[in-house]
């Protein structure tokens, strides 16, 4: 069997990789689910996106802590310790012959019941990994992103478990990204229930103004671990960081705009289209500096 990724642009494990599921390594092609899996019907799975650089898992403990927190918000506990999951992740990378990879841990309620409450459902856990370079993760060729304003909004925090990375919360992002693709854009900008800037479909958005990085307060969307890392890098560069309510007018006045998340790391935003109006931003020096700093930090991760 040949190990490692062989596909061109597919997003997901190839048939020659391995998946860890409920304590065992199995070929990814055998990682099937029962059709009555509760989380498939009710959207109660939780997951993470993590990257490995040269065989080292980046921000691993932070991601697995958030996975555990997401599960608890949804009313169940992971049946594995953080060390179990770290060891399992390393095993998946080794068995699949991967050193630079995207990693997807996932936990879900099983098929023992399809009732809404799901008290009798067993909790399953799996980890997959695949070759998914950053320049293929969003947009073409790794350039600046062209956004369009989504018709969908992020839910208010008292209407959904917005602090969790829950599969059910991604449907509006799926709809928004598909609409963006149809209109020739790379991604969609989503507002909160009050009409203020929230995030894109999968990444946190950051504005640069007078040497300060500003991003929306993560009340109705996931608090990005990658953004926290980028903010720490920015402070090392002598920049100020803050979170506040951001309007579309604030966005228009920004000197630079970028997005950040595990899948894309840092990607500049060059335009936003909305109702016959286009806003544009350059790929400025702050964004370029932080991209270089981020890439250097991943090499530091790989060498430690």
Please pick, among 56, 109, 124, 165, the residue that the annotation labels catalytic: 165
Residue 220 bridge partners (DSSP): none
Q: Is 227 a residue of the active site? A: no
Cα 107 to the chain's mean position, in Å?
Answer: 16
Question: Tell me, what DSSP letter sits at residue 263?
Answer: T
Asked if 215 and 243 count as a contact pair (C-beta separation under 8 A), the reply is: yes
Tell me the three state secondary structure of residue 219: coil
Rounded Cα distance, 216 and 234, in Å: 17
27's enclosing H/E stretch is strand 24-27
Rounded Cα distance, 94 and 201, in Å: 31
The H-assigned helical ranges of the chain are: 38-42, 60-73, 82-96, 134-137, 171-182, 225-236, 248-253, 285-303
Asked if 74 and 166 count as a contact pair (C-beta separation under 8 A), the reply is: yes
Cα 219 to the chain's mean position, in Å?
Answer: 16
Active site (catalytic) residues: 165
């Amino acid at each position: 069997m040949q190990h490692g990724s062989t596909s061109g642009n597919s997003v997901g494990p190839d048939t020659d990789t391995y998946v860890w599921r409920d304590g065992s390594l199995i070929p990814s092609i055998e990682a099937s689910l029962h059709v009555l899996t509760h989380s498939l019907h009710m959207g109660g799975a939780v997951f993470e996106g993590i990257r490995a650089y040269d065989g080292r898992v980046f921000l691993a403990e932070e991601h697995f802590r958030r996975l555990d927190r997401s599960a608890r918000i949804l009313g169940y506990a992971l049946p594995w310790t953080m060390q179990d999951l770290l060891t399992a992740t390393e095993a998946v990378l080794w068995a699949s012959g991967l050193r630079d990879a995207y990693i997807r841990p996932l936990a879900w309620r099983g098929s023992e019941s399809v009732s809404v409450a799901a008290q009798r459902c067993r909790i399953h856990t799996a980890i997959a990994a695949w070759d998914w370079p950053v320049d293929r993760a969003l947009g073409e060729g790794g350039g600046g992103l062209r956004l369009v304003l989504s018709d969908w909004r992020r839910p208010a925090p008292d209407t959904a478990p917005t602090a969790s990375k829950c599969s059910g919360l991604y449907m509006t992002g799926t709809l928004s990204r598909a609409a963006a693709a149809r209109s020739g854009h790379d991604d969609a900008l989503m507002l909160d229930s009050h009409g203020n800037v929230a995030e894109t479909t999968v990444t946190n958005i950051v504005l640069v103004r007078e040497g300060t990085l500003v991003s929306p307060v993560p009340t109705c969307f996931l608090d990005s671990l990658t953004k926290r890392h980028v903010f720490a890098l920015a402070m090392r560069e002598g920049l100020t960081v803050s979170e506040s309510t951001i309007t579309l007018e604030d966005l228009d006045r920004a000197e630079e705009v970028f997005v950040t998340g595990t899948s894309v790391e840092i990607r500049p935003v060059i335009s936003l289209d909305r109702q016959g109006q286009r806003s544009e931003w350059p790929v400025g020096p702050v964004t370029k500096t932080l991209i270089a700093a981020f890439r250097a930090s991943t090499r530091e991760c790989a060498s430690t």
